[in-house]
């Protein structure tokens, strides 16, 4: 909140940072609800299924918004460009819709077909495998966008190298943990272990972004130098074309 207030004062409170705050907020709410549900389950032995489902929906929503924000930043949105082409918007819309559909199918699959007696982890299903695949496709897109943006806007090299390196690990962490759980863990330990690791991965992802965008003079990685009042159009014919110095760094 303090960082957001500083960015707003400096006219650097961009859409991508608002997306980060939104993702962080609903992720925190999901944790609060999960604590209530698990606390009740631990003390009474009765599950509050609707609370757990609500929390997982919020967690999924947070992940969708956060991944979308990472892809937008990798494409340079609000860092070196003010708008995206219609083609880019269409690709992003399709990707997010596929992600949402996969999650809905996975929830339905778990509720209808899973046998609780077998203690199956919810990623151990065709929709779960699809989710892992979608996350890795998102990383490939993230990689392509970051490489092209870095190639054409070398002034942001420091930020994008740190950004890409850290979030490549973040993208791969969850699929790797899921695969380890499916093939190397006992079934009864999977959900507890993987859920704990995924919560930690989510926490680290939010903290890393907060550090990278910390609005302080000692932060050499700070990406935002376009004021919100300076946002302009990019060249529609070339998604990665160099802007006419309209995004040069500004003091403050």
* Six-digit token string for 71: 């892809």
Three-state DSSP at 247 gives coil
User: What integer pLDDT is reported at residue 235 of this predicted model?
Assistant: 42
Q: Please state the pTM of the whole predicted model.
A: 0.82
Contact 181, 121 (CB under 8 A): yes
Give phi and psi for 55, each to the nearest 5.
Answer: -65, -40
Beta partners for 77?
Answer: 81
User: What integer pLDDT is reported at residue 172 of this predicted model?
Assistant: 94
The domain limits of the chain are 2-230
Q: Could you give the angle at which helices 187-212 and 157-184 cross, rounded to 10 degrees?
A: 170
Q: Where are the alpha helices (DSSP H) in 185-212?
A: 187-212
* Six-digit token string for 23: 């993702």
The Cα 54–Cα 60 span in angstroms is: 10
User: What integer pLDDT is reported at residue 120 of this predicted model?
Assistant: 63
Q: What is the pLDDT along the chain (252 residues), one digit of tens a residue?
A: 676 677 777 666 677 888 999 999 999 999 999 999 989 888 888 888 889 889 988 998 999 999 999 999 998 887 877 777 888 889 888 988 888 888 888 778 777 777 666 656 667 777 778 888 888 999 999 999 999 888 888 888 888 999 999 999 999 998 898 888 878 777 777 777 888 888 999 999 999 998 888 776 555 666 666 665 555 544 433 443 444 333 333 333
Three-state DSSP at 242 gives coil
193: number of Cβ within 10 Å: 15
Q: Could you give the angle at which helices 15-44 and 49-74 cross, rounded to 10 degrees?
A: 160
The Cα 58–Cα 60 span in angstroms is: 5
User: What integer pLDDT is reported at residue 118 of this predicted model?
Assistant: 62
């Amino acid at each position: 909140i303090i960082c957001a207030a500083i960015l707003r004062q400096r006219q650097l409170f961009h859409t991508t940072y608002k997306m980060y705050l939104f993702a962080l907020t609903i992720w925190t709410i999901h944790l609060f609800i999960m604590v209530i549900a698990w606390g009740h389950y631990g003390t009474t032995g009765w599950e509050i299924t609707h609370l757990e489902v609500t929390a997982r929906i919020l967690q999924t929503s947070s992940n969708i918004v956060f991944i979308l924000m990472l892809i937008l930043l990798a494409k340079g949105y609000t860092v070196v460009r003010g708008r995206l082409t219609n083609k880019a918007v269409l690709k992003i819309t399709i990707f997010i819709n596929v992600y949402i559909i996969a999650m809905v199918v996975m929830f339905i699959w778990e509720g209808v077909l899973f046998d609780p007696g077998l203690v199956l982890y919810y990623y151990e299903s065709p929709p779960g495998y699809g989710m892992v695949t979608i996350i890795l496709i998102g990383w490939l897109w993230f990689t392509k966008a970051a490489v092209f943006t870095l190639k054409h806007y070398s002034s942001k090299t420091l930020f994008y190298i740190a950004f890409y390196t850290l979030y490549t690990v973040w993208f791969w962490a969850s699929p790797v943990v899921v695969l380890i759980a499916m093939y190397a863990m006992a079934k009864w330990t999977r959900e507890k272990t993987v859920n704990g690791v995924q919560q930690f991965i989510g926490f680290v992802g939010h903290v890393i972004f907060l550090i990278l965008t910390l609005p302080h003079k000692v932060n050499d990685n700070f990406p935002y130098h376009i004021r919100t009042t300076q946002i302009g159009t990019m060249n529609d014919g070339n998604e990665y074309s160099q802007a006419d110095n309209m995004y040069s760094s500004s003091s403050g």
